[in-house]
């Protein structure tokens, strides 16, 4: 070192440099922090956690955005094979359920009169003891308990069924929008007691009888994705959709052609098309010759009964249009006839018969049989609820897992009156909703993001999927999973109930399911579309490779991804069953014209007092409009937008005759009651039909629900929407 | 110079002298007629590269067994060369691929040597594991095979028939891999041979898709996912290599000239580049002769259990891909013609770096991944100099790599 640079200089400069670096680093951090705060929440630490939407039986995978440990947003899980990241409005609104200010904060028992909404908080031990005591008391009576919940499959639903079956209860579900109600028609034609799966994506032409494909059909997110691919997919021409629907639904708006027909007329049109296909020998000969069954008799009957002129007269559709539709349907390579999940048995039979004529079974773009059979011993809740309403049964204990029993539009006119006959009602709903307000005991469940999940996805072809996830957050309130509640009650009861419910928590059931699935040595954790395709190709080739070395790793992988999927599906079950049972069994097509004619006659003879036929419908927003999801009330009446109110759709002629237009307020009056609604004029609807959106009212429910004061149930005559006639009064 | 220093000096000289030998022995495991066998490690899990296909964005242009969005469907391409030929083909298409990537605004991926090996193994595996996808078994043809080959004389396809010698074949329903069938037929070969001799049934020979068709026939009513399904884990070529040794297959068979000479050398190209069912058929066809040879040599009969047959067949399949022979002399010609303008090996940096000085180029896939990763810069320089993109014919990439590794061994500067 030269003389001009001394030791002192060295220390001075080094010290200065060090101080500069230190200060500079401090300043940089300060600026970075200020920048992070200025740029808003996107810089805050955030992560996504997988969970499952439990709003319907579709079991879509969701992911919850967590910021500082708090859930702030719900989106679709991109790894979930059902939605691949898409989610319906109801699913996205799920976050509101968690934060709903009117959630039940813990178990409670009724203190006032039933329906009066006066409650006393109790502990879970007290609640368990009350239910156990009630259930042990039922053994002395002849009146079996009844347990109702929304359709769901998987170990948690099985746990519910096992408990109630062990208590000698009837177990029923409300089959939502899946194809569970189509089983009977499918069974009659093919002999397979499974749900039919519609391969919409690969169809080239779809004739839909009221199927809300673009709204709530079967598994809504899957259906809408399939619809997108059906319309536009690389390497093939755009699929054509003809929608036969009483109202101009969202699906009808998107269709290439919309035919406005009432449900009775739809049956006539379906058989009318079958008659033309038969008369002109346009059916799929190869399929029909191989699986003939009673095809010849069916053709003879349908041709004799459904003459084009008569079909035209009953439906109002020109003969030339009917002929064109039949020819289009039979001329395309992969036609598919779709039907609404809650269609009548007559319409279901007609649709399955049409599908048989065009050879739509066990082929791409057609119908397959579901891979797994639905659980045994569960009945459709419609039967028991109607039986209670009619006073035919009086359950000693009525257990309601959620609000679904009465949320559907059409079952009973006065829910409180209907359920009054039950000695004791226990509700597991997390909210004060239609059913819980009637209960004697409230055992509130967690909301989905607080729960364990293992739900078998329904109605998604092909393959199998089980949506699995751990809770995203700890329970915010003193709630409990029904599986855990029932396990406690079972132990208190002892005997068969305790033997049937060996688990302690919902987690036990989920982990048990994952162990079972892991041992099957097929499928794998939810993964990208590409890797799912790779898995499928491996399995087709006879191979399977485990992505996880240990059961713990497998469990972690499945829970981390949000579920398990096995994309492999070996088709041919329908054809092999038909081979074994000597062909198709068509139902008799005879009664439909008479039913349609009767409906037409009723319409013409109703007179001036109640001139309109009432059709009650649900949209994706109104179906899911819960008292705890206010954002869905904002979405009502789309695309016109009639938030927070029920609306009624009427034909242009009807609007002109009444001197009203879209946006006017009317009173819809039936012999049974009246309610207010906003008018939406829909050109092309039949002039003698008014379609009323069902938006569930719950004046005693949470703060959001109180905004809706009346709903379509008040109008229904004799418990049936189909027979109800109304008039419209200007307000 | 003190004694200790002499010793240290001598040790250093020895170490330096031994270095090229060690490198050369790593790079080449044999030398035959001027060519060396390059050490390409067999993959343990050939399907591990499936994820890379997505991660590296290959899937944006290529599909596997589906209509491809841009590039060819790699699942449908029959590629019979070695793994290095596959990587060479990859290189040949690099300019086109990069151009397409630019159009599609895709960042060209960087690929490490391990990833390059995994990708090559995966693309190789794809043909192997899923070749039946292209030609699914024909149940009707399988029924014909079942009758014509005489299976029907001893077996009932649906259930055990007391009037037939063999067991019912219902057990194969739900077992979707022909390896189940091949393993059972192999293991029961001697018993079957005895029964067939007694019944006067000739030893059937399977060719082409016949074994696959036979399986399709046995699966004919195995529909719906409700039925229990049993799969094989994809075989591990590395495990198969170990089994090949432990089952004493090497006593009769050689691999690239190493091993016994009773049976054929199994490292012959094309012979075993077939579908699983075809390889299984080949093994069955030769099983009688093999059993006779076992007896003659006093070797205990070899049977397979669990995944062993899958592993062995995977090994035999991958053998041809992983047995890579390169001729350094030809590699020098390729180097001089294409690479020598910009690179030297031990001669210092030119336009490009001195390849002897670059670290990490000590195994074939490291060379290929380095070439891929620097393709953009190389392409730019070559365009500036109006040079054409070098293309590798089958075998060229192996020759080039053999030359490069040999030369690097002579210049241990890295």
Quickly list DSSP for A636-676. TTTTT--TTS-EEEE-HHHHHHHT--TT-EEEEEETTEEEE
Can you say whether residue B259 is alpha, beta or left, with left for phi > 0 and alpha for psi between -120 and 50 degrees? left
**Which pLDDT value is given to residue A605?**
58
What local confidence, expressed as pLDDT, does residue B26 receive?
A: 38
Which pLDDT does position A484 carry in this prediction? Answer: 97
Q: Among the ranges A22-26, A118-122, B179-183, B334-338, which has the highest mean pLDDT value?
A: A118-122
Position A466 confidence tier, pLDDT thresholds 50, 70, 90: very high
Residues B248 and B376 in one domain: no
Q: B344 and B283, same structural domain? A: no
The residue with greater pLDDT, B162 or A588, is A588
Highest mean pLDDT: which of A85-89, B16-20, B409-413? A85-89
Give all strands of the β-sheet with A240-244 in edge-to-edge order. A257-259, A240-244, A205-209, A335-339
pLDDT for A561 equals: 95
Minimum distance, in Å, between the CA of residue B52 and any CA atom of chain A:
10
Q: What letter would DSSP give residue A202? A: G
d(C-alpha A416, C-alpha A435), whole Å: 8
What is the DSSP track for A162-187?
A: HHHHHTT-EEEEE-TTSGGGGHHHHH
Do A47-99 and A196-369 have matching folds? no
Beta carbons of A373 and B226 less than 8 Å apart: yes
Lowest mean pLDDT, pick from A331-340, A360-369, A376-385:
A376-385
Q: With an 8 Å Cβ cutoff, are A530 and B222 in contact?
A: no
What residues 504-523 of chain A have any CB closer than 8 A to a CB of chain B? 521-522
Distance CA A635, CA A246 (A): 22
pLDDT above 80 (res B19): no
Q: How much is the pLDDT for B228?
A: 67
Residues B299 and B279 in one domain: yes
* CB contact B357 to A (< 8 Å): no
Question: Domain A47-99 is in which class?
Answer: mainly beta
User: Which one has a higher pLDDT value, B250 or A441?
Assistant: A441
For chain A, helix (H) and strand (E) counts, in that order, are 27, 27
Pairing of strands A441-442, A70-76: unpaired
Q: What is the pLDDT of residue A656?
A: 93
Q: Whose structure tokens read 């690099």?
A: B94
Using the predicted structure, report yes or no on whether residue A444 has a pLDDT greater than 60.
yes
pLDDT in tens, A470-510: 999 999 999 999 999 999 999 999 999 999 999 999 999 99
Q: CATH number of the domain that B366 lies in?
A: 1.10.760
Cα–Cα distance measured from residue A106 to residue A115, given in angstroms and rounded to the nearest whole number: 18
Rounded CA-CA distance B273/B320 in Å is 8
How would you class A204 by CB atoms within 10 Å of its CB: exposed for 0-12, middle for 13-18, buried for 19 or more? middle
Say if B56 falls within a structural domain: no
* Contact flag B223-A534 (C-beta cutoff 8 Å): no
Task: Using the predicted structure, report yes or no on whether residue A39 has a pLDDT greater than 80.
Answer: no
Share of chain A above pLDDT 70, in %: 89
The count of structural domains within chain B is 2
Q: Which of B206, B200, B188, B42 is nearest to B124 (CA)?
A: B42
Which residue in the set A372, A545, A568 is minimally distant from B226, CB to CB? A372
Q: For A110, which DSSP code?
A: E
Q: Are residues B193 and B339 in the same domain?
A: no
The predicted-structure confidence for B343-372, as pLDDT tens digits, reads as follows: 888 888 888 888 888 877 777 788 878 888
Q: Are strands A563-566 and A240-244 parallel, antiparallel or unpaired?
A: unpaired
Q: What's the first-to-final CA gap in chain B, in angstroms?
A: 30
What is the band of A123 on the pLDDT scale with cuts at 50, 70, 90? very high
Cα B66–chain centre separation: 23
Residues B201 and B288 in one domain: yes
- B410 pLDDT band, cuts 50/70/90, is confident
Q: Is B230 on the interface with A (CB under 8 A)?
A: yes
Q: What pLDDT is attached to residue A270? A: 96
A329-346 pLDDT, tens digit each:
999 999 999 999 888 899
Residue B37 lies in a domain: no
**Bridge partners of residue A208, in order along the sequence:** A243, A338
Contact A330, A282 (CB under 8 A): yes
The answer to whether residues B403 and B331 touch, using CB atoms and an 8 Å cutoff, is yes
CATH of A607-730, one of 2.40.40.20, 3.40.50.1980, 2.40.110.10, 3.40.50.10210: 2.40.40.20
Q: What value of ipTM does the predicted structure carry?
A: 0.74
pTM for the predicted model, two decimal places: 0.82
Q: What is the mean pLDDT of residues A177-203?
A: 88
B373 lies in which domain range?
A: 81-134+327-410
Pick from A110-114, A155-159, A312-316, A461-465: least confident: A461-465
Residues B99 and B143 in one domain: no
Query: Per the domain annotation, does B51 fall within a domain?
Result: no
pLDDT at B225: 42
pLDDT band at B406 (very low <50, low <70, confident <90, very high): confident
Q: Which of B64, B67, B231 sits opposite A522 (nearest CB)?
A: B231
CB-CB under 8 Å, B233 with A543:
yes
Closest partner CB to A531 (pick from B50, B69, B225): B50
Boundary-marking domain end, from B321, B338, B355:
B321
Domain A196-369 falls under CATH 3.40.228.10 = yes
Predicted pLDDT of residue B300: 81
Q: Is B17 part of any domain? A: no
Kindly determine whether residue A544 and residue B232, on different chains, have CB atoms separated by under 8 Å. Answer: yes
Locate the domains of chain A by residue range.
7-41, 47-99, 196-369, 607-730
Q: Which residue of A has its CA nearest to B180?
A: A542
Collect all residues of chain B within an 8 Å Cβ-Cβ radius of residue A457: none
pLDDT (average), residues A359-373 = 90
Point out the least confidently predicted range of A46-60, A276-290, B264-278. Answer: B264-278
Q: With 0-12 CB in 10 A as exposed, 13-18 as middle and 19+ as buried, what is A144?
A: middle
CB contact under 8 Å between A568 and B225, yes or no, is yes
Whether B142 and B128 map to the same domain: the answer is no
- What phi and psi values does residue A173 have, to the nearest 5 degrees? -130, 155
- Name the band, by pLDDT with cuts 50, 70 and 90, for residue B322: confident
- Overall average pLDDT of the B13-21 stretch: 42
**Do B315 and B403 lie in a common domain?**
no
With cut-offs at 50, 70 and 90, classify the pLDDT of residue B22. very low
Sign, CA torsion A445/A447/A449/A453: positive
Last residue of a domain, one of B270, B287, B321: B321
Query: Would you state the pLDDT for residue B36?
Result: 77
**Contact between B225 and A528 using a beta-carbon 8 Å cutoff:** no
Q: How far apart are alpha carbons B133 and B275 in whole angstroms? A: 10
Could you tell me the pLDDT band of residue A438, with boundaries at 50, 70 and 90? confident
pLDDT at res. A416: 62
Q: Per the structure block, which two tokens stand in for A525?
A: 């954790």
In a domain, B191, yes or no: yes
Are B192 and B335 in the same domain?
A: no
**CB of B279 within 8 A of CB of B272?**
yes
How big is the CA angle at A43 (ends A37 and A48), to the nearest 5 degrees?
140
Tell me: pLDDT of B224 over 70: no
Q: 3-state class of A29 per DSSP? A: helix
Rounded Cα distance, A91 and A224, in Å = 14
Instruction: Assess whether B170 and B228 both reside in one domain.
Output: yes
Query: Does residue B254 come out as left (phi exceeding 0), alpha (psi in the -120 to 50 range) or beta?
Result: beta
Asked if residue A450 has pLDDT above 80, the reply is yes
Q: What percent of chain A has pLDDT over 90?
A: 52
Banded pLDDT at B87 (limits 50, 70, 90): confident
User: Does position B236 have pLDDT exceeding 80, yes or no?
Assistant: yes
Q: Given this model, what pLDDT does residue A426 score? A: 96
Question: Which residues between 34 and 73 in chain B have a beta carbon less than 8 angstroms from any beta carbon of chain A?
Answer: 45, 47, 50-51, 53-54, 59, 64-67, 69
Interface test with B, best of A542, A564, A576, A580 (most B CBs within 10 A): A542
Alpha helices in A56-149 (DSSP H): 89-92, 94-99, 124-138
Query: A36-40, A51-55, B229-233, B323-327: which has the highest mean pLDDT?
Result: A51-55
Cα angle: A683, vertex A686, A688; to 5 degrees: 125
For chain A, say whether B231 makes contact (Cβ under 8 Å). Answer: yes
A607 CB-contact burial (10 Å; exposed 0-12 / middle 13-18 / buried 19+): exposed
A45, pLDDT greater than 80? no
Cα–Cα distance for residue pair B236/B44, rounded to 1 Å: 5
Which residues pair with residue A375 across a beta bridge? none
Query: Are both B175 and B272 inside the same structural domain?
Result: yes
Instruction: Flag whether residue B359 sits within 8 Å of chain A, measured between CB atoms.
Output: no
- Whether A160 has a pLDDT exceeding 60, the answer reads yes
- Structure tokens, A187: 């069974």
Q: B344-372 as b/e, with b when 16 or more CB fall inside 10 Å?
A: bbeeeeeebebbbbbeebebbbbbbbbbb
Quick check: is B8 in a domain? no
Average pLDDT over residues A671-693: 89
Q: Which of B261, B294, B321 is the last residue of a domain?
A: B321
The predicted structure's pLDDT at residue B377: 85
Amino acid B190: pLDDT: 81
* Residue B285 shares a structural domain with residue B206: yes
Residue A717 bridge partners (DSSP): A720
In a domain, residue B289? The reply is: yes
pLDDT at B264: 80
pLDDT 10s digits, A604-619 = 655 568 888 888 888 7
């Amino acid at each position: 070192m030269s003389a001009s640079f001394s030791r002192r200089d060295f220390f001075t400069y080094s010290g200065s440099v060090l101080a500069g670096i230190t200060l500079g680093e401090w300043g940089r951090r300060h600026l970075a922090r200020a920048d992070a705060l200025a740029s808003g929440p996107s810089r805050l630490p955030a992560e996504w956690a997988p969970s499952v939407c439990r709003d319907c039986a579709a079991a879509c995978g969701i992911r919850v955005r967590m910021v500082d440990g708090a859930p702030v947003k719900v989106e679709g899980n991109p790894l979930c094979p059902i939605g691949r990241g898409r989610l319906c409005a109801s699913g996205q609104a799920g976050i509101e359920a968690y934060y709903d200010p009117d959630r039940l904060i813990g178990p409670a028992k009724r203190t006032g009169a039933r329906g009066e909404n006066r409650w006393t908080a109790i502990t879970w031990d007290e609640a368990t003891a009350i239910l156990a005591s009630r259930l042990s008391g039922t053994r002395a009576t002849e009146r079996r308990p009844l347990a109702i919940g929304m359709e769901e499959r998987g170990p948690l639903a099985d746990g519910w069924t096992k408990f109630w079956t062990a208590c000698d209860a009837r177990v029923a579900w409300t089959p939502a929008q899946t194809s569970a109600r189509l089983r009977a028609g499918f069974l009659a034609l093919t002999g397979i007691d499974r749900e039919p799966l519609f391969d919409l994506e690969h169809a080239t032409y779809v004739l839909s009888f009221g199927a809300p494909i673009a709204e709530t059909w079967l598994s809504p997110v899957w259906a809408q994705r399939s619809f997108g691919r059906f319309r536009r997919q690389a390497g093939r021409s755009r699929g054509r959709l003809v929608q036969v629907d009483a109202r101009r639904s969202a699906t009808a708006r998107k269709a290439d052609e919309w035919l406005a027909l009432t449900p009775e007329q739809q049956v006539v049109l379906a058989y009318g098309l079958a008659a033309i296909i038969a008369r002109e020998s346009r059916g799929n000969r190869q399929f029909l010759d191989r699986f003939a069954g009673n095809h010849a008799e069916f053709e003879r009957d349908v041709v004799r009964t459904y003459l084009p002129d008569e079909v035209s007269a009953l439906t109002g559709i020109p003969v030339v249009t009917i002929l064109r539709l039949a020819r289009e349907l039979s001329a395309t390579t992969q036609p598919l006839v779709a039907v609404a999940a809650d269609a009548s048995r007559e319409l279901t039979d007609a649709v399955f018969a049409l599908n048989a004529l065009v050879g739509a079974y066990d082929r791409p773009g057609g119908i397959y049989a579901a891979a797994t059979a639905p659980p045994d011993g569960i009945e459709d809740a419609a039967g028991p609820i109607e039986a209670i309403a009619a006073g035919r049964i009086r359950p000693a204990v009525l257990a309601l897992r959620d609000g679904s029993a009465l949320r559907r539009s059409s079952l009973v006119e006065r829910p409180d009156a209907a359920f009054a006959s039950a000695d004791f009602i226990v509700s597991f709903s997390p909210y004060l909703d239609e059913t819980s307000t009637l209960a004697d005991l409230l055992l509130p469940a967690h909301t989905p993001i607080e729960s364990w999940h293992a739900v078998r996805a329904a109605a998604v072809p092909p393959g199998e999927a089980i949506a699995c996830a751990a809770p995203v957050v700890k329970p915010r309130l003193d709630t409990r999973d029904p599986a855990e509640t029932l396990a406690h009650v079972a132990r208190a009861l002892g005997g068969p109930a305790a033997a049937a419910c060996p688990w302690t928590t919902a987690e036990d059931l989920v982990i048990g399911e994952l162990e079972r699935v892991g041992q099957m040595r097929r499928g794998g954790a939810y993964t990208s579309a590409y890797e799912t395709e790779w898995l499928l190709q491996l399995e087709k080739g006879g191979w399977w490779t485990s992505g996880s070395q240990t059961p713990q790793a497998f469990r972690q992988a499945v829970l981390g991804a949000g579920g398990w999927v096995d994309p492999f599906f070996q088709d041919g079950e329908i054809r092999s069953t038909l081979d074994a049972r000597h062909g198709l069994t068509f139902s008799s097509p005879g009664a439909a014209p008479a039913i349609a004619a009767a409906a037409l006659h009723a319409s013409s003879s109703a007179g001036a007092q109640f001139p309109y036929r009432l059709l009650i419908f649900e949209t994706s927003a109104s179906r899911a409009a819960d008292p705890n999801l206010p954002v869905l009330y904002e979405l009502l009446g789309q695309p016109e937008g009639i938030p927070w109110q029920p609306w009624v759709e009427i034909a242009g002629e009807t609007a002109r005759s009444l001197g009203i237009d879209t946006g006017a307020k009317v009173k819809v009056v039936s012999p049974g009651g009246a309610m207010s609604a906003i008018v939406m004029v829909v050109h092309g609807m039949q002039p003698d039909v008014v379609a009323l959106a069902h938006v569930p009212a719950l004046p005693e429910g949470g703060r959001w629900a109180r905004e809706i004061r009346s709903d379509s149930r008040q109008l229904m005559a004799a418990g049936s929407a189909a027979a109800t006639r109304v008039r419209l009064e200007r307000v | 110079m003190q004694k200790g220093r002499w010793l240290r000096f001598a040790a250093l000289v020895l170490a330096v002298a031994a270095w090229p030998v060690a490198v050369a022995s790593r790079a080449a495991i044999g030398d035959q007629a001027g060519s060396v066998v390059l050490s390409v490690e067999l993959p343990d899990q050939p399907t591990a590269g499936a994820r890379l296909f997505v991660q590296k964005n290959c899937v944006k242009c290529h599909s596997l067994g589906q209509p491809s969005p841009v590039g060819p469907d790699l699942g449908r391409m029959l590629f019979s060369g070695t793994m290095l030929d596959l990587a060479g083909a990859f290189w040949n298409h690099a300019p086109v691929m990069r151009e397409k990537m630019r159009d599609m605004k895709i960042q060209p991926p960087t690929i490490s040597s391990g990833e390059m090996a995994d990708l090559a193994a995966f693309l190789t595996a794809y043909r192997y594991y899923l070749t039946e996808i292209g030609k699914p078994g024909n149940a009707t043809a399988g029924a014909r095979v079942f009758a014509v080959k005489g299976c029907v004389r001893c077996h009932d396809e649906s259930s055990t028939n007391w009037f037939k010698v063999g067991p019912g074949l219902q057990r194969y329903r739900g077992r979707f891999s022909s390896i189940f069938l091949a393993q059972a037929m192999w293991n029961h070969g001697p018993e079957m041979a005895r029964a067939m001799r007694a019944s006067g049934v000739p030893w059937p020979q399977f060719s082409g898709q016949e074994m696959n068709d036979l399986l399709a026939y046995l699966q004919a009513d195995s529909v719906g996912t409700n039925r229990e399904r049993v799969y094989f884990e994809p075989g591990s070529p590395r495990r198969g290599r170990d089994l090949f040794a432990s089952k004493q297959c090497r006593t009769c068979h050689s691999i690239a000239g190493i091993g016994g000479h009773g049976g054929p050398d199994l490292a012959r190209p094309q012979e075993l580049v077939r579908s699983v069912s075809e390889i299984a058929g080949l093994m069955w066809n030769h099983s009688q002769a093999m059993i006779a040879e076992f007896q003659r040599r006093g070797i205990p009969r070899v049977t397979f259990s669990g995944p062993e047959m899958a592993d062995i067949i995977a090994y035999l399949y991958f053998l041809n891909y992983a047995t890579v022979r390169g001729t350094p002399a030809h590699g020098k010609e390729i180097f001089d013609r294409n690479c020598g303008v910009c690179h030297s090996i031990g001669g210092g940096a030119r336009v490009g770096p001195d390849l002897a000085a670059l670290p990490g180029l000590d195994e074939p896939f490291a060379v290929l991944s380095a070439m891929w990763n620097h393709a953009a810069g190389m392409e730019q320089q070559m365009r500036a100099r109006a040079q054409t993109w070098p293309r590798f014919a089958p075998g060229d990439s192996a020759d080039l790599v053999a030359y490069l590794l040999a030369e690097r061994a002579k210049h241990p500067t890295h």
